[in-house]
Structure formats: structure tokens, C-alpha cells
Amino acid sequence: MTAPFQSSGLCSQLHGLWLPLVTPFCDGIVDETSLRRLVRHYAALPIDGLILAATSGEGLTLGMAELEWIVAVTRETLAEARRYLPICLGLAGSYTRKLCHTLDETAGWPIDGYLISSPYYSRPSQRGLLQHFNMLADHASWPLVLYNIPYRASVALETETLLELASHPNIVGMKDCGANRAQSIELLRRRPAGFRILTGEDALYFEALADGADGAILLSAHVETPTFAAIWKLFKEGHTDDARERWDSVSPLPRLLFAEPSPAPAKYWLARTGLIDSAEVRLPMVEVSRELAARLDAEIARRQVPVSRLEPSA
């Protein structure tokens, strides 16, 4: 397949606060009622885009039919809410040609791009990573956002590799989870014009914006969404002290929502506050411990978030 390189559209929208939406489950299947409720809720809030079926969305546990259905339901619900939001589909894999086949299967879906992580487990060289992402970008009908997350993939995209990939016309940005501030600053300084860098490190959101990041993709923004959005807006307007004050009010949330493997804590919060009907996750993920559930309940109460009639799971 020859890609039409529709990169300019996504590139112009790749900024601000993006939400890596969780995937709600009930009795082992994707919960349509909760998914629609989630999308309607966040469509009314100041987010700038959605990531579907990435890490927070438990994408590695989803089949192709489920992925297609989630995308379709999300796009339909956004249309009903009269809110256009760009959608990136999260993909991952260690076999390049198989990923190319997935790109073919998803080429006609109502998305705006892909968020693609480095190959996991196989730990390719930088030369292998370069060829891998270039082949995907050449093949894809929608633009790519790189996902550099070495602590999950066991391999890091090094600075020179990232800069070379950034020159590809169908690679428009990256989610930066490298946890390497020096590299992030260098990338921001040397990146080509139009290449967007969004942090994916929730606890480093303020720091990344201070360094010049274009925005963030944050699981924690499922909670206190307007505050997380306001932080970026205040930075953009030059009100750094006000942004700091807002950040101080939400900075404990990333520590709490990542106290156990994500997205279980966030799903617990969303279930307790009525946005989804169940905190269910798919194995090998498990729901939060009783100890963390108690801490989450205390924080919900402290923030005076209305709690639904749903009871926490035993």
C-alpha cells in the first residue's frame, strides 16, 4: 500500500491534553453502555484528542473485531455529542510485516492516526528500529505518532534515531515516556518544524511543559480533567505561576493512580464515581487491592467527588 500521507491534519491537532481512554469491560466483554457514557462525558470537557486501545485501554488484550467496534462506537458517540475530536489508535507488535497487515485492516476506520510503541521483547538495534518505523510509516494510510517507552518495550529510541524518524513525512510526533529529561530537552531543541512532542509521564507533566513540550497524553486526566487541561492552557498563555498552582492541586493524583499497575486504579476511580459500571480489567491485569481501594476512596471523598451507587468489588 502506498500511504497518502495525510499528516498535516493530525500534526495541526497534536497538542494540548489528549486522553488515553480506558476500555470498560463487564463480564469479559467490552461494555458499550459505559464506553458511550465515558465518551459523552469527556466530549464535554476541554480535551484535545483521544487515544484508543493503547496501554491505558488494554489494547494488547483486544481482538481486531473489538478494536474496530470501539473505534466505531467512539466516533458515533462523538458525532451524537456534536464534538469532533481526533482519534489515534494504539498499536504494538514485534513483527513488522504483521503490523503492516494491521495497518491495512484499519486503513478505512474513522481514525486520524496511530500511536505505535517500539517492538517489545525482541530488543532490536537502533538500525532495526529505524527500518521498522520507516516501513510502517511508508505503509500506513494515516500518520504515525511514535511511542517511546523503554521501561515497557525494553528498548529505547535514541535521540539520533528519533530525529531521523521525525524527518519522515508520515511521522508527525511522539509520546515521550523515555523518563530522560536531558534527551527530551535535546529533542525539543533539535526537532524538525512541525514535529510534535507530547509527554506521557503523568508525574512529569509540569516539568515537560516547562521544557517546551506541545502537550501531554495522560491517564491521570481521566480525573480532574479541566484542571489538567487548564495547566497546558495557562502555560501557553505565559501564566506559569498560575499553572504551577493548578499543578500542585493535582500532582498527587499520578502517584495514586499508578500505585498499582495501570489502568486498574483509574478504572476503580471511574467505577466508584459512576462513569463506568465495573472496574473490571483483563488478565493478566487484576483489580486494585483492598488497601489501594481504601486510599482511592479517601481521595475521592477529599475531593468531594460524587460517588455512585455502585459498590466496590470485594
Distance in angstroms (rounded) separating the CA atoms of residues 75 and 85: 9
A 10 A CB-CB count for 308 gives 13
Distance in angstroms (rounded) separating the CA atoms of residues 289 and 292: 5
The amino acid sitting at 248 is D
Distance in angstroms (rounded) separating the CA atoms of residues 142 and 124: 24
Distance in angstroms (rounded) separating the CA atoms of residues 299 and 297: 5
- CB-based burial label for 238 (10 Å; 0-12, 13-18, 19+): exposed
Cβ-count burial 105-115 (b if 16+ within 10 Å, e if not): ebeeeebbbbb
Q: Is 56 annotated as a binding residue?
A: yes
Catalytic annotation, pick one of 42, 114, 120, 175 = 175
Based on the residue annotation, tell me whether 98 is a catalytic residue of this protein: no
Catalytic annotation, pick one of 42, 114, 147, 268 = 147
Q: Is 47 annotated as a binding residue?
A: no
Based on the residue annotation, tell me whether 175 is a catalytic residue of this protein: yes
Residue reference for cell 503490523: 99
Residue reference for cell 531521523: 164
Rounded (5°) CA angle 186-190-196:
95
Distance in angstroms (rounded) separating the CA atoms of residues 28 and 165: 38
Provide the annotated active-site residues: 147, 175
Q: Summarize the annotated binding site for pyruvate as residue ranges.
A: 56, 217
Q: Summarize the annotated binding site as residue ranges.
A: 56, 217
